[in-house]
Amino acid sequence: MISMYVSRLADTFTDSLISFVTEERGNTLSNRCPKCQTENPDTVKFCGECGTPLGLSENVTEAFTRTLETPKQELATGASFTERYQIIEKLGKGGMGKVYRVLDKKLDEEVALKLLNPEIASDKKTLERFSNELKLARKIVHKNVGRMYEFMEEQGTHFITMEYVPGEDLKSFIKRVGQLPVGKAVSIGKQILDGLEEAHRLGTVHRDLKPSNIMIDKEGNARIMDFGIARSMHTKGMTAKGVIIGTPEYMSPEQAEAKEIDHRSDIYSFGIILYEMLTGQLPFEGDTPLSIALKHKQEVPKEPKDLNPLIPEDLSRLILRCMEKEPQNRYQSATKILADLADVEQGKPTTSRVGQPKPLTSKEITVSFNLKKLWVPSLFVFVAAIVALIIWQTKPQKEIAQAPKIENSIAVITFTNQTGDPSYDYLQDVIPNLLITNLENTGFLYVATWERMFDLLKQMGRNDVAKIDSDLGFELCQREGIEAIVIGSYTKAGDLFVTDAKVLDVETRRLMKSTNSRGDGVDSILKTQIDQLSRDIAQGIGIARKKIAESKLRVAEVATSSLDAYNHFLKGREAFEKHYYDEARQNLERAVEYDPEFAVAYFYLARTSSSLRNIRAQNEAWEKAKLYANKASEKERLWIEARYASVVEKDREKAIRLFQEVSKKYPKEKIFHLALAQFYRQKKLFAETLEELNKALHLDPSYGATLNLLAYTYAEMGDNDRALEYFRNYASVSPGDADPLDSMAELFFKMGRLDDAIAKYKEALEIKPDFGAERWISYIYLIKNNYEEAMKWTDQFISVAPSEGLKAQGYLG
């Protein structure tokens, strides 16, 4: 395979050399040399006698020979060129030509002038392309991009004028300094990206991005130079097909093969530049352009951090992600790299990469199997992506940085049961959740959810905490940047139910507002008390009465009017998130019995029914969720609409758009990043999938659902070892949960480790006897030709099948 690739790439370089001069191949082909008339074998491309290219028309060959024999022009210092430009000094030369610093006597200002090499300037089509591409480059007006001016000709000499930037090119700077300090390299990198962002926005690719094309001016600012060979991303074919333009050390693999390129080729080159700035060396070097191109295509670069231990881990990963071999696995925009570089500067985690995946193969069997979570119809089909991301560390972080203050932010921490009756303990969950929903729906507050508070606890390594008390709440809010905290209690005297709440300043612990509400019976909590408490709390942190009056503070209209319904909803949602689908179904069905217009309960019921393969129940629940979506909070309404668009309307693009909207509006809600990742994964956009999962994992390093989806994503990409690692992480953060064991069993099955698969399925059943794993065990025994065990487990599955949906599905799935 390697020798075939070398031959093909060598042919590409040869064809590109010819194409660059002749615009395109396909002229009158002949094996007779047009110069010396020597007959040559059909398989050769150059004359064996004189070296002239074969297969070209005579006129073209003469032009080719003539340009190579044209003397190279040199402009002396102090001389005039075209009577308009006075030569000040020669700045350098490259593959395209020589560059001079000149005085434009007409404008009385210094500019840079590039004389094109004769072998380039001799071809009319090439000159036409340069002219057209310069028109595109001139549109780029940005402080980090050197301006391109004109493309002109004087007495057969073609030249380009451009902005002169006094200073030093980045290549010379690196040679002089060696490894750049991380801060300096990141600063220069951000400026380069700023320029690329603008160029890419206008549809222009540089195609020869390298340190010698980046000037560092006297103030230390970076400018990208020489967009003269850029190409429009929106206009195919402007540059001759098969032409290789660029510098081998900085070429993307697709560019080296003369394939169609887009802005992601510049991102690859940028990765190499950042690599060189921080390590002082190039990732790939060789004796010939071909050998370097082969390394770009085949070799994995050394970790930058291994060459310079001062490079942060996340920055090292960022560089390698830019340098992914396949364009779809790189960063997809300069904007995304800028965001991650900003995080590196602030010490925050960023997106990252993985190494070469291992193919998914079976050592014992090759069978078809409908896996419930992998969504792959057959073991014959597996996707092996070359490279992607390494996610943020999954181990709990003992220290997290204190965040800047979030304006109008509040957290509802704890409400204690002072009734003396444990049957009211459920309200310790109900009251804060209802308050959070109501306060969040005002649109004036950032409300940290309970889930967010527990995520922060996990980052502190406090997985042992079941309830957050006030002292711990203050610490968490300081770390999150929350301004105010709500703590409270509730009690009961006869039929009178009283709820008390206090709003305190997080920094000073000063009491900002004290309020209480009372009503007849526990149902008054939903009917009147939550709304009154929400108004008083909002006023206590400075929201004007007028705004409060205009806002929607009627919790029954965005949740439910039934406490029983809400209690069953909370239980059903928790069971669903643990994949205990039948338990979730039972609670959610009870919730909508108590409140037939409870939109969010229908939403979870639809998803639960889908997992139980009960399509009729799923469709009914989706229609009810959509029908009553206007009775949900804004956040939940968007969520319902996004899922409905995907499942019912089959409009995945609309769903992605809605989830992008809601995840942007609620960036600290990990569930939305997880949901968006699921959609990206269905589209095989693995880089985007892992990026969203990384965001979710940053919010909660032990988020089981994220670890689970990460594992399945890596399995689908072909990296079984990493998949198994994340399944084990999932199991370690979810003790007593059957799902990670079930997931590991699926992976073992795909790997052909049948006995390990059976063992894990049995472990899952020990934890959750109605988990439904019997059908998979029976199927594996069937494959192993152990029909007695297969029938035994089939009978057991049928006897305990929790729903008609599963019974109808049968053990074969």
List the catalytic residues: 208
Tokens 């008054």 belong to which residue?
A: 524
Can you tell me the distance from the alpha carbon of 804 to that of 812, in angstroms, rounded to the nearest whole number?
15
Write out the DSSP string of 55-96.
SS-HHHHHHHHHHHHSPPP---TT-EETTTEEEEEEEEE-SS
A 10 A CB-CB count for 403 gives 14
CA 641 to chain centre: 23
Cα–Cα nearest to 263, from 231, 291, 288: 231
Question: Within a 10 A sphere around the Cβ of 166, how many other Cβ atoms?
Answer: 9
Residue 466's closest CA among 478, 475, 457, 476? 457
CA 131, 133, 134, 138 torsion: positive or negative?
Answer: positive
Q: Are 670 and 634 in contact (CB under 8 A)?
A: no
List b or e across 602-636, with b for residues whose CB sees 16 or more CB atoms inside 10 angstroms: bbbbbbbbbbbbbeebbeebbebbbebbebbbebb
Which residues 6+ apart lie within 8 Å of 452 measured at CB? 411, 480, 668, 669, 699
Which 8-state DSSP code applies to residue 684? T
Instruction: Specify the DSSP class assigned to residue 122.
Output: T
52: which DSSP letter?
P
Structure token pair of residue 641: 């609409």
How, if at all, do strands 222-224 and 484-493 pair? Answer: unpaired
C-beta of residue 633 within 8 angstroms of C-beta of residue 441: yes
In our burial notation (b when 16+ CB lie closer than 10 A, e otherwise), range 3-38 reads eeebeebeebbebbbbbbbbbeeeeeeeeebbbeee
Cβ-count burial 637-658 (b if 16+ within 10 Å, e if not): bbbbbbbbbbbeeeeeeebbeb
Which residues does 350 contact at the CB level (< 8 Å), separation at least 6?
314, 315, 317, 318, 340, 343, 344, 392, 694
Cα separation of 77 and 82, whole Å?
Answer: 14
The SS3 assignment for 578 reads coil
Instruction: Give the span between the Cα atoms of 429 and 412, in whole angstroms.
Output: 11
Q: In 3-state terms, what secondary structure has residue 675?
A: helix
d(CA 54, CA 676): 55
159 membership: H or E segment, kind and range:
strand 157-163
Question: What's the CA gap between 260 and 242, in Å, rounded?
Answer: 9
In this structure, the strands spanning 496-505 and 109-116 are unpaired
The phi and psi torsions of 780 (rounded to 5 degrees) equal -65, -40
Query: Which helix (H) or strand (E) element contains residue 487?
Result: strand 484-493
Which single residue is written with the structure tokens 């889930």? Answer: 451
Cα(563)–Cα(372) distance, rounded to whole angstroms? Answer: 34
- The secondary structure of 202-258, three-state, reads CCEECCCCCHHHEEEECCCCEEECCHHHCEECCCCCCCCCCCCCCCHHHCCHHHHCC
DSSP annotation of 156: T
Cβ partners under 8 Å of residue 450, min gap 6:
412, 432, 433, 436, 468
